[in-house]
A and B are shown apart, each in its own frame.
Chain A
Amino acid sequence: MATINITAPKPMVMADLKGKVDPDWCPGCGDYGVLAAVQKALVELQIPNHQVATVSGIGCSSNFPGFINTYGMHTLHGRSLPVASGLKLANHELTVLVTGGDGDGFGIGCGHFVHAMRRNINLNYFVLDNQVYGLTTGQTSPTSRIGMKTKSNPYGNGDTPVNPITLALSAGATFVGRGFSGDQKHLTELIKSAIQHKGFSFLDIFSPCVTYNHDNTFQWFRPRVKKLEDNPEYDATNWVAAMEKATLWGEEIPIGKFYESTEVPTLEQTEPVLDAGPLIGRDLHIAPDVARKFVEELM
């Protein structure tokens, strides 16, 4: 076994973030691009990888933590956000990335998604949205378009798709963006901004499934995605404007930072118990005078 030397800090490079195993995603999967962009963002931000935790649910994209060399948690289907929230509250000095798919986040985990945003906990939630269930071999997902034919909906999906951007905006996320795996440079910058934002950051990232989604492919997205950053008049602090942009779908699909508010305090900032620093490392015993009062009030 290799001996790990931890004494000499040196700048973190892409190779430092390579996971123990290579990704087992299908060749051409959009998730490769997202993984690379996340690794690049961490290198550019120079956040030491031992201070990063990547937490996922279950699904193709949720295998993410295994492919990046940070602390990682591969949790239950749909439960990445509560697990990540607990981890963040235990040690809020960690940078916590939460990764997963559209089924994991907007289907089975949708309740947690809404409530995590309400709390404005400083998590970075990246949904690798391919509009289909991949690991279960191709069923309709919450973001599948109306009419999309899958194994579970052979006659076409009839349910209105979730709009992750409007949902996030209405639930109180303080950073809302959309990225595209096919635009690495833009995605990397977006991820960097999301990580630097203090509060709940949500990115819906188009990450096409090359095996089960033949409708929303790289080729389909490429001419449609339009960067909000290309419009100098777009004001990402304007929530109403963000809602308006978020409803666009079709020939023009906006990507980029829809909204950011720096005015809402984070959960960690508003929780007085955390004023003394992270919960870890605290004396486990209750101070004797406090304990005595707890008993005295029962007498």
Chain B
Amino acid sequence: MSQTFAIGIGGAAGQGVATPGDILALLFSRRGLHLNAYNAYQSIIRGGHTFLTIRTGVDEVRSVGDGIDLLIPLNQDTMDRHLRLLTAGGACIYNSDSIKPGAAAEGVQLCALPVSTLADISRNKVAQNTLALGAALSMMGVGFSVLEGVFEAQFGRKGESVVKENTDIARAGYDYATANFKPFAKPLPMTDNRYAVLSGNAAMAMGGAAAGVKFYCAYPMSPSTGVLHWMASHGRKAGILVRQVEDEIGVINMAIGASHGGVRSMCATSGGGFALMTEGLGLSAMAEIPVVAINCMRAGPSTGVPTKTEQGDLWQALGAAFGDFPRVIAAPLDIGDCFTLMPEIFNITDKFQCPGIVLCDLLLAEGRLSVKPALLDFNPPIDRGELITSNGDAHDEYLRYKITPSGVSPRAIPGIPGFMHVVSSDEHEENGVLISDEYTNHAKRRAMMEKRMRKMEGIEAAVPPPVLEGPADADVTLIGWGSTDGTIKEAREQLAEQGITTNQLQIRWLVPLHGDAIVDILSKSKHTIIVENNYSGQFARYLRSETSFVADGHIRKYDGEPFMPHHIVEAVREQLAGTTTVSVPTHEVMV
């Protein structure tokens, strides 16, 4: 990866960390730079410690990286926690009225802003943030004028006076820094590209809208609530009916009801809500009504750590609901993929009339990424499968669950003459009549089980197997799934610089897994290491259960924070040295 620049802004919740973060994101993207941002925070509305890292560069920025170039602590706590991590060439801009710097490493520039002399802090409570922002621009070698347009976008709604007040304060910070602080060695570059910046939650919501979702419902649950927020604020423009429902049991069942009515329906939650949805997923499978449920994983079990990330719900998704039934499970690889995946999974669930689960996690759901606007394609291919929406010609008795070679039976939506039928959560025969009541017909039960499960063959054919990235003869094969893609890629670049060649097998479709293709790839690998954000190696266990494949080593993290590239680099090195086969990197800073 080419040169990047990372800024860390930290303070207590409610101190206004988000606003400078939003402003910087807009500023970078309008400068034609890519960015990747992640906010580490706690389940508290006021107080605590929240630390936003925003990293930018000319090329795609795949993770928030390993270090900070510029630290902006909004309180003493942030200064105390993070200053020690700055290295030579870095800088820290702080309010010298209220914050005392600690011991900084050699070559770190401490930039004291006399906030009360530069701005009227009785009028503007967040003056220190705006001054720091102005100062940062100066030091990054960014002209001031760009900020005015960004302020207009950020504060324009609040009126011209607010824009002007903020502009004046930022100007004071900018000028003070120009006069007193040393600029960074390399000014922030600029390109003619323009990027869209979005969170994974917004991406999944927009991806759903692009897929033709017309009904969205949810119960608020971190870190998935952003999907609901996007849907709620855009649904009316997009013709999507959005409902907040009493609980996740109601959510999944309402989504299934709407889907049976003939519209594409989606819902999102996190582990606890997903647990409540599981019986409904079984209904979707049994009644053969497609539905897509997103699980933005957070650290569990139980209420767990609501604002921290984990990939700990794989087995919950694999085993969601009792009984055997066809399902699709996919994990988006990055925030752009959160968008792209949605139309794909909708096409599959519609075609095969089964539940689809999107296993996202907090890292992607609440992280932010710049993407090329063209990636957000609102005109993707839509395949609704065998859906009967009008009465057409006279026909034989309609069999909702007709036994077919593919296992898929044409699905009529209610309201059409001549296709009346009952869909059922009880086992049923081809015409929908229950077989469970008066007598249980084992032959019919077996035929219906086999019909439903046959759909897995079609699903497997519809989903591509994973592809190995990197040289086939690499020293190490890193295997990950979902959101770890970018961090693993970046770790591989660092390893390459250190003379260790790697390739990578990143799993996007978890069900169907394409186990044979995976084993075919991995059997040629020299040293296999599975990287995942959980305690027990959930994917490693899954891969073993499906294929008998056992990896040589494992890198796991379950402290609530995502991997940083150097965690993987160091773990690979220690495993190649033979020190261990299970590495659990330590997160260096408390956030």
Chain A residues in the interface with B (C-beta under 8 A): 1-7, 20-21, 24, 48-51, 53, 55, 58, 63, 65-66, 69-76, 79, 82-91, 93-94, 111-112, 114-115, 271-274, 276, 279-282, 284-286, 288, 290-291, 293-295, 298-299
Determine whether the beta carbon of B257 is less than 8 Å from that of A82.
Answer: yes
Residues 165 to 205 of chain B near chain A (Cβ within 8 Å): 194-198, 202
Determine whether the beta carbon of A90 is less than 8 Å from that of B240.
Answer: no
Known: A50-B420, A273-B236, A295-B373. A89 touches B261 (CB 8 A): yes
Residues 201 to 226 of chain B near chain A (Cβ within 8 Å): 202, 206, 209-212, 214-215, 217
Determine whether the beta carbon of B396 is less than 8 Å from that of A112.
Answer: no
Determine whether the beta carbon of B415 is less than 8 Å from that of A51.
Answer: yes
Determine whether the beta carbon of A73 is less than 8 Å from that of B253.
Answer: no
Give bound CA distance, A88 to B580, whole Å: 58
Contact for A65 among B250, B419, B422, CB less than 8 A? B422
Give bound CA distance, A24 to B250, whole Å: 29
Contact for A86 among B202, B258, B264, B382, CB less than 8 A? B258
- B280 interface hit (Cβ, 8 Å): yes
With a cutoff of 8 Å between Cβ atoms, the chain B residues found around residue A284 in the complex are 211-212, 214, 264, 382
With a cutoff of 8 Å between Cβ atoms, the chain A residues found around residue B106 in the complex are none
Determine whether the beta carbon of B396 is less than 8 Å from that of A76.
Answer: no
Determine whether the beta carbon of B421 is less than 8 Å from that of A71.
Answer: yes
Known: A86-B254, A279-B263. A6 touches B417 (CB 8 A): yes
Give bound CA distance, A73 to B413, whole Å: 12
Interface segment, one of B7-15, B433-441, B541-549? B433-441
Contact digits for B360-395, partner A, Cβ 8 Å, 1 yes 0 no = 000000000000010010110010000001010011
- B239 interface hit (Cβ, 8 Å): yes
Chain B residues in the interface with A (C-beta under 8 A): 29-30, 194-198, 202, 206, 209-212, 214-215, 217, 234-243, 245-247, 249-251, 253-265, 279-280, 283, 287, 373, 376, 378-379, 382, 389, 391, 394-398, 413-426, 431-434, 437-438
Determine whether the beta carbon of A91 is less than 8 Å from that of B250.
Answer: no
Give bound CA distance, A75 to B397, whole Å: 23
Report whether over half of chain B's contact residues are helix, strand or loop; otherwise say mixed: mixed
With a cutoff of 8 Å between Cβ atoms, the chain B residues found around residue A72 in the complex are 420-423, 432
Give bound CA distance, A55 to B373, whole Å: 43
Identify the closest chain B residue to A271 (Cβ). Answer: B241
Determine whether the beta carbon of B197 is less than 8 Å from that of A76.
Answer: no
With a cutoff of 8 Å between Cβ atoms, the chain A residues found around residue B287 in the complex are 73, 75
Report whether over half of chain A's contact residues are helix, strand or loop; otherwise say mixed: mixed
Determine whether the beta carbon of A115 is less than 8 Å from that of B241.
Answer: no
With a cutoff of 8 Å between Cβ atoms, the chain A residues found around residue B417 in the complex are 6, 48, 50
Give bound CA distance, A166 to B254, whole Å: 26
Give bound CA distance, A69 to B258, whole Å: 21
With a cutoff of 8 Å between Cβ atoms, the chain B residues found around residue A87 in the complex are 257-258, 260-261, 414
Determine whether the beta carbon of B414 is less than 8 Å from that of A115.
Answer: no
Contact for B257 among A66, A84, A273, A288, CB less than 8 A? A84
Known: A94-B414, A112-B250. A294 touches B262 (CB 8 A): no
Contact for A76 among B210, B240, B254, B425, CB less than 8 A? B425
Known: A4-B395, A73-B423, A294-B206. A279 touches B378 (CB 8 A): no
With a cutoff of 8 Å between Cβ atoms, the chain B residues found around residue A93 in the complex are 415
Identify the closest chain B residue to A7 (Cβ). Answer: B394
Determine whether the beta carbon of B398 is less than 8 Å from that of A91.
Answer: no
Q: Which 10 A-B pairs have the closest CB atoms?
A: A86-B257, A90-B261, A284-B212, A72-B422, A291-B378, A86-B258, A71-B414, A83-B257, A82-B253, A298-B196
Contact for B420 among A24, A49, A91, A274, CB less than 8 A? A49
Identify the closest chain B residue to A58 (Cβ). Answer: B425
Contact for A280 among B246, B262, B398, CB less than 8 A? B262
Determine whether the beta carbon of B422 is less than 8 Å from that of A66.
Answer: yes
Determine whether the beta carbon of A24 is less than 8 Å from that of B437.
Answer: yes
Contact for B263 among A79, A112, A280, A285, CB less than 8 A? A280
Identify the closest chain A residue to B419 (Cβ). Answer: A50
Identify the closest chain A residue to B431 (Cβ). Answer: A20
Would you list 13 pairs from A and B whose C-beta atoms are within 8 A, ordered by A residue?
A: A24-B437, A66-B433, A76-B253, A90-B215, A91-B261, A272-B236, A279-B263, A280-B389, A282-B214, A284-B211, A285-B382, A286-B210, A291-B379
Give bound CA distance, A114 to B29, whole Å: 47
Could you tell me the distance in whole angstroms from the C-beta of A192 to the nearest C-beta in chain B?
21
Could you tell me the distance in whole angstroms from the C-beta of B297 to the nearest C-beta in chain A?
24
With a cutoff of 8 Å between Cβ atoms, the chain B residues found around residue A114 in the complex are 246
With a cutoff of 8 Å between Cβ atoms, the chain B residues found around residue A3 in the complex are 394-396
> Which of B212, B253, B434: most chain A Cβ within 10 A?
B253
Give bound CA distance, A65 to B425, whole Å: 12
Determine whether the beta carbon of A115 is less than 8 Å from that of B246.
Answer: yes
Determine whether the beta carbon of B215 is less than 8 Å from that of A294.
Answer: no
With a cutoff of 8 Å between Cβ atoms, the chain A residues found around residue B212 in the complex are 284-285
